[in-house]
A and B are shown apart, each in its own frame.
Chain A
Amino acid sequence: EAGVTQFPSHSVIEKGQTVTLRCDPISGHDNLYWYRRVMGKEIKFLLHFVKESKQDESGMPNNRFLAERTGGTYSTLKVQPAELEDSGVYFCASSQPNYFTDTQYFGPGTRLTVL
């Protein structure tokens, strides 16, 4: 079974440009999460989808970030326009919770560098 995949693995862009990150969750997983880790800091929650609906987007930094999950399958996270402080590693995770637990499976991350 394929794991969570993310594309691209690295992205280097100029301040003011737009970048779109993609996440393909494990097939059949309804829950999809986006997280970010800024250099030297802990991982921070960004948002949570259940199928195509945004369940919780309380961690989104500002309105320059837009996440979508059309059809409840893959998700995209767009940053427009990118700022220097957006640099970091963006992780996606998916899960299919049951009564007992919600094990989240993480992708390898996309390293975003804004120059």
Chain B
Amino acid sequence: SQKIEQNSEALNIQEGKTATLTCNYTNYSPAYLQWYRQDPGRGPVFLLLIRENEKEKRKERLKVTFDTTLKQSLFHITASQPADSATYLCALEMDSNYQLIWGAGTKLIIKP
């Protein structure tokens, strides 16, 4: 079955630098790969979606890349701010049935 790996250790980044988070999967490529942000005590919030045939997607300070050869997605936050501190989750949608398979998330800490 599909497994998703995200760094389990917290990522500490200095304010203003670029934060890069990794999402690796094991089996065949998903139709869509999504990134979410989750704050303590809240539900995940959708950030970006990238399709299997796309290499890169951007939204403001966020950028997602998708490499189906490496079976990996990278999530970048440029000019990071303390308010970006949260847990970031990647989720795979294997086909168009909308069921999401989730990674455990990486906690990002932006230090002022």
A contact set with B: CB distance below 8 Å: 4, 31, 33, 35, 41-45, 48, 55-56, 58-59, 91, 93, 95, 97, 101-109
Contact = CB atoms under 8 A, between A and B. Distances in A.
A108 B105 contact: no
A42 B104 contact: yes
A99 B99 CA distance: 16
A91 B97 CA distance: 19
A102 B104 contact: no
Interface stretch (B37-45, B66-74, B77-85): B37-45
A93 B43 contact: yes
Contact of A101 (B44, B49, B104): B49
A108 B42 contact: yes
B42 A42 contact: no
B102 A95 contact: no
26 contacts: A31-B98, A35-B100, A35-B102, A41-B104, A42-B102, A42-B104, A43-B89, A43-B91, A44-B102, A45-B99, A45-B100, A48-B97, A48-B98, A56-B98, A58-B99, A59-B99, A91-B44, A101-B32, A103-B49, A104-B46, A104-B98, A106-B43, A108-B41, A108-B42, A108-B43, A109-B41
A29 to B, nearest CB: 12
A98 to B, nearest CB: 12
